[in-house]
Amino acid sequence: MDLETNERRQRLKRTSKWPKWLRAPFLLKWALRIGVLAYRIWRFWNALSGGPGD
């Protein structure tokens, strides 16, 4: 029983520690990717609606 609770506590610690350093770069990478994609779509749309002069 004591071993079980210790194991569970250890697992909880590991899972709470894991995303802290992983979450920030992961979110940043996706934010950058989505931003670039949105920018490309916006530029493409501008070129379509604005014509060759834009």
pLDDT one-digit tens code per residue, 22-51: 778 888 999 999 999 999 999 999 999 986
Euclidean distance between CA atoms 9 and 25, whole angstroms: 26
Q: What integer pLDDT is reported at residue 3 of this predicted model?
A: 74
Q: What integer pLDDT is reported at residue 52 of this predicted model?
A: 62
Coil, strand or helix: which one is 19?
Answer: helix
Instruction: Give this prediction's pTM.
Output: 0.46
Sorted by where each begins, the domain ranges of the chain are 1-54
- Kindly report, residue by residue over 12-30, the tens digit of the pLDDT: 666 555 566 677 888 899 9
Q: Which residues of 11-48 are buried (b: 16+ CB within 10 A; e: fewer)?
A: eeeeeeeeeeeeeeeeeeeeeeeeeeeeeeeeeeeeee
Query: How high is the mean pLDDT of the chain?
Result: 80
